Amino acid sequence: MSLAANALSGHRKWQPTWRDAAPRDGYDIVIIGGGGHGLATAYYLAKVHGITRVAVVEKGWIGGGNVGRNTTIIRSNYGLPGNEPFYEWSMKLWEGLEQELNYNAMISQRGVLNLFHSDGQRDTFARRGNAMRLHGVDAGLLDKDAVRRMAPFLNYDQARFPVMGGLYQARGGTARHDAVAWGYARGASELGVDIIQNCEVTGFVRDAAGAVTSVDTSRGRIGAGKVGMAVAGNSSRVAALADLRLPIESHVLQAFVSEGLKPVIPGVITFGAGHFYISQSDKGGLVFGGDIDGYNSYASRGNLPVVEDVCEGGMAIMPMIGRARLLRGWGGIMDMSMDGSPIIDRSPVAGLYFNGGWCYGGFKATPASGWCFAHLLATDGRHDTATAFRFDRFRTGHLIDEKGQGAQPNLH
């Protein structure tokens, strides 16, 4: 009823979801980047730590970056001790997020199934599943018959990539990506955070000792007690403004959606022998993708060879999708760290804190990333679940080299 009334009144009575703030002279904390991670950080700074003199400075519009470009998969099926507690903490936050924000983010725990196609791959997946269970996380190793019952449409008869089974996380699934950004933006704004769009950070102002004291932006200089960077695919460019060189490369990752079809795919399915993964949106579109384009780029358009590779992977495991019509494809810029795992840490520049290196897995991390980055900014200490995500691991050799997370066959 109110929808119809608003449509007829030209939407004049609709309230903006968050305040469109103008920059003030200074804040206790300035977050650069109004993606999921920056907004979640601002929300938890205000909610958990009571720090509300906070600005989120976004060069474009909220939801215009990777938070609105990803394929919406959330899961916590990691194997390494540096990762698993963090992603499980994120999953627990996802499970309460809609109540926390009072916002419908369409969180749907429809299950994530990683297919395996060889004995060796089964052993690796069994090990990962066992590691998950040791951390109290749900995991099940399915044999071929169980997979067939769940996904009868897969190609089981091909000799080249026989489906032998899958690792299943029932609590994994999907969340509506841009609604997550909007929900955090509204929550943060209601707690007093200024969300400033169309405001690009163009430089850092530092005192005689080298500490950051302000940021220069396209809307003027903004003073800051501390500055947090959460700019995803632009990490290296923004860090360069503070003379920092990061262990990160930027690559485009493409994804695709078909026309709307009747429900057929029960959850998220990843192909273990090629670069292809798929789920079905609530509107019916088949949402799928594969690996990054193999060259460094800041352009969010991709190359045809990867499109071909993704379609080949899809056709190999799920020939029926050859009959679906493609609606659109798009790309986003990935901040690929050198071991495939993220960084949430103080930078070597005093007053400047860093959140990035999420590769293609940062959407699922959004709640815990915001929680842990807020903790770091507020307390100057690392949160218990994110102690491994430090810069100096690349110097000391304590890498978190989780199979499938870096520039190698991925699982999303």
Residues numbered 298-357 forming contacts with ligand FAD, rule: CB under 6 A: 332
Rounded least distance, CB 146 to ligand FAD, Å:
24
Residues numbered 348-387 forming contacts with ligand FAD, rule: CB under 6 A: 358, 360-364
Does residue 64 bind ligand FAD (CB under 6 A)?
yes
Tokens of 176: 């509506």
Taken as a whole, the chain contains a residue count of 412
Residues numbered 145-164 forming contacts with ligand FAD, rule: CB under 6 A: none
**DSSP structural state of residue 165:** E
Rg of the chain taking only CA atoms, in angstroms: 21
Residues numbered 234-253 forming contacts with ligand FAD, rule: CB under 6 A: 234, 238, 253
Does residue 59 bind ligand FAD (CB under 6 A)?
yes
Tokens of 357: 């290196």
Does residue 32 bind ligand FAD (CB under 6 A)?
yes
Tokens of 242: 């503070």
Distance CA 259, CA 97 (A): 30
Distance CA 73, CA 23 (A): 34
Tokens of 314: 């899809």
Distance CA 369, CA 343 (A): 10
Contact region with ligand FAD (CB under 6 A), list: 11-19, 123-131, 188-196, 227-235:
227-235
The contacts of residue 320 (CB under 8 Å, 6+ apart) are 153
Does residue 33 bind ligand FAD (CB under 6 A)?
yes
> Contact, 35 vs 67, CB < 8 A?
yes
Contact region with ligand FAD (CB under 6 A), list: 52-60, 83-91, 111-119, 313-321:
52-60
Does residue 57 bind ligand FAD (CB under 6 A)?
yes
Q: Which of 200, 205, 211, 264 binds ligand FAD (CB under 6 A)?
A: 200
Q: Which string of DSSP letters, residue by residue, matches 286-327? A: EEEEEEEEEEE-S-S---HHHHHHHHHHHHHH-GGGGGSPEE
Q: Which of 54, 58, 321, 349 binds ligand FAD (CB under 6 A)?
A: 58
Contact region with ligand FAD (CB under 6 A), list: 55-63, 123-131, 375-383, 386-394:
55-63
Q: Residue 185: which of 106, 103, 73, 90 has the closest Cα?
A: 103
Does residue 69 bind ligand FAD (CB under 6 A)?
yes
Rounded least distance, CB 393 to ligand FAD, Å:
19
Is 98 or 178 the residue whose CB approaches ligand FAD more closely?
178
Rounded least distance, CB 410 to ligand FAD, Å:
9
Distance CA 71, CA 347 (A): 30
- Phi and psi of 367, rounded to 5°? -65, -45
Rounded least distance, CB 165 to ligand FAD, Å:
22
By the criterion CB under 6 A, which residues form the site for ligand FAD?
A: 32-38, 57-60, 64-67, 69-73, 200-201, 230-234, 238, 253-255, 289, 332, 358, 360-364, 412
